[in-house]
Amino acid sequence: MSYFNIDAQAQNTYDAIVIGSGISGGWAAKELTGKGLRTLVLERGRDVRHVTDYPTTNMQPWEFEHRNQLKLDVREANPIVSKCYAFYEGTEQFFVKDAEHPYVQEKPFDWIRGYQVGGKSLLWARQTQRWSDFDFQGPARDGYAVDWPIRYADIAPWYSYVEKFAGITGNKDGLATLPDGEFLPPHEWNCVEKHFQKKIAGRYKDRHVIMGRAAHITQPQPIHFQQGRAQCQHRTICERGCPFGGYFSSNSSTIPWAAKTGKMTLRPHSTVHSIIYDEAKGRATGVRVVDTQTKQMHEFYARIIFLNAAALNSNLVLLNSTSHRFPNGLGNDSGVLGKYVAFHNYRAGISAEYDGDLDSTTDGRRPNSPYIPRFRNVEKQETNFLRGYAAGFSAGRSSRTDQSGVGADLKESLLNPKLGGWYVGSHMMGETIPKETNYVALDPSLKDPYGIPQLKIAIAYDDNDDKMVKDYQEQLTEMFTEAGFKNIRVRDDHRNPGLDIHEMGGARMGKDPKTSILNKWNQVHHCKNVFVTDGACMTSTSTQNPSLTYMALTARAADYAVKGLKKGLV
């Protein structure tokens, strides 16, 4: 590769390179091309074009050979990804199979991945809550991780910026813990959810039940029509890809938008091996890419690089980008790269029944549900564990059929279901504390099919997480009891970390280059033209679903990067 002729080098040179096309990479592509930069977007998987590459999106339930159940051989070959709730007959094509990208589980970790254009943005649960200063100030107040180098005021305008484009449904609730955004009309509540909201408001000053904020277009604006997207049709089969563009994905939104500028070159089947660091220039000059079809290595060059390979893979790329200057990974003078990885604790849940409101029911389907923002340790430390949890909540009316008979009686009963009572349920989303001992590293000997070191993952729960599970169960039991719910059952499924699909950190942002990898602009402290704006950048996790924050951080960093290029700061 070192004897590249100058023409070939020029041909492989862009203004910017974006590594990854998922929820944050798509935003980097949109912002950088929108500001006029010729941008190469590298995606390790295949291309997935909006609508035409959603093979199951319009299949009726009876058109699935196994009615969406996974075949036994698929489950046996994929014990990890088969645990994911969204992996079924209609979505198999969008998930990485276990054997495709092996990794080392030093501790049990279910790594759920989507390698294709759009990444996991096709598959996500679409919940989009803003962080508040209670979240950004958490590490400093409670003495864990390092202080975030930004506060809510730094990111608030960028939340607004991405929300307007993506299309976020929600209600302006006026809560300090969960700032309001640029909302399209909220989804409807059902009677029992309203009842719960009222009961909780009456009993607790600091606990709120609100309608979830989600990336669904409930009332399309001109900006959505310009993207070719329409109103969400409530099919609730989002993870198969949506032909209406009713929910936000890179495929339906940012990637085609970037393509329209004429400035984007999208290169699928391109796994990034490492970032090239030029010792003389003191900056990154490009990336080494393995073409997954030919297995040949190529080099591409650019003035700035956005790393958006998804949290753990971005760590992998940085760790594998070694040079004389950076023997332990790009920008890793501090030695913290790959460490302080955290996630969300989804272990606990609660379910119950309710025998009121029997004269009402629901009609249609809702791709969203109510949400209980964090209420523990908000203003001050008040429990025997650090931080807290948010919770999802929903109610639905059951229908029952007597299936005990056989013959014409059974048929009659199946076709005439009786309306049952209401069921209610909730699940926790707990903040986990980033620790040095929760880390990822390169395995010294094992390689993936492309000759790139395998990632070794050592991430586990701790005592703080166990206490939080117990507190969630106790508090939600109390709240359910207050609402008159019956037959309350709590659970702790002891799922492995990873199955939350909210892994974060490893290349955290911070004020001090001695204890962090990125500065307040998501810029590598020691390599100013490399930006990491996916989950790898997260200093702490708080309780909110993280994607909206990645989008806002990406747009903010891209703005800084392009201005910085002009001023010579990057």
Partner 1 sequence: MERRNALKTMAGAVGGLISLPAWANGWTAESIPSSQPFISTGQTELLAEMVETIIPATDTPGAKALNVHQFVQKMVADCYDKTAQDRFKNGLESLDGWAQKSFGKPFNQGDVAQRTGLMTQLSKSDDSAQKDFYGLVKGLTIRGYMTSEYVMTNLTHYQFIPGHYYGCVPVSKK
Give the binding site for partner 1 (CB under 8 A).
51-52, 58-67, 69-73, 187-191, 193-194, 230-231, 233-235, 243-244, 358-366, 403, 406-408, 410-411, 414-415, 419
Q: How far apart are CA 329 and CA 275, in angstroms?
A: 10
Q: Which one, 109 or 196, has the nearer CB to partner 1?
A: 196
Q: Nearest Cα to 298, choosing from 265, 261, 273, 331?
A: 273
CB-side neighbour CA atoms (13 Å) of 463: 2
Shortest Cβ 52–partner 1 spacing (Å): 6
Contact 339, 439 (CB under 8 A): yes
**3-state secondary structure string, 165-232?**
HHCEECCCCCECCECCCCEECCCCCCHHHHHHHHHHHHHCCCCCCEECCECECCCCCHHHHHCCCCCC
| The token pair that represents 546 in the structure block | 């993280």
Contact 424, 353 (CB under 8 A): yes
Q: Which one, 71 or 198, has the nearer CB to partner 1?
A: 71
Q: How far apart are CA 421 and CA 206, in angstroms?
A: 30
Helices (H), 365-433: 408-415
| The token pair that represents 510 in the structure block | 């911070």
| The token pair that represents 13 in the structure block | 């040179």
Task: Decide the pairing of beta strands 418-431 and 389-400.
Answer: antiparallel
Contact 275, 85 (CB under 8 A): no
Q: Which one, 176 or 223, has the nearer CB to partner 1?
A: 223
Q: How far apart are CA 213 and CA 320, in angstroms?
A: 37
Q: Which residue has the tokens 């009615």?
A: 67
Shortest Cβ 189–partner 1 spacing (Å): 5
Q: How far apart are CA 245 and CA 166, in angstroms?
A: 10
Shortest Cβ 359–partner 1 spacing (Å): 5
Q: How far apart are CA 342 and CA 458, in angstroms?
A: 11
Q: Which residue has the tokens 């009309």?
A: 185
Q: Which residue has the tokens 């949109």?
A: 30
**For residue 171, how many other CB atoms are within 10 A of its CB?**
15
3-state SS class at 406: coil
| The token pair that represents 195 in the structure block | 């009842």
Shortest Cβ 403–partner 1 spacing (Å): 6
Burial 409-419 (b: 16+ CB within 10 A, else e): eeeebeeeeee
Q: Which one, 235 or 520, has the nearer CB to partner 1?
A: 235
* Region of residue 357 (left: phi > 0; alpha: psi -120 to 50; beta: else): left
Contact 438, 457 (CB under 8 A): no
Q: How far apart are CA 413 and CA 401, in angstroms?
A: 6
Q: Which one, 194 or 520, has the nearer CB to partner 1?
A: 194
Q: How far apart are CA 479 and CA 490, in angstroms?
A: 13
Provide CB contacts within 8 A for 83, sequence distance 6+: 110, 495, 496, 499
CB-side neighbour CA atoms (13 Å) of 335: 2
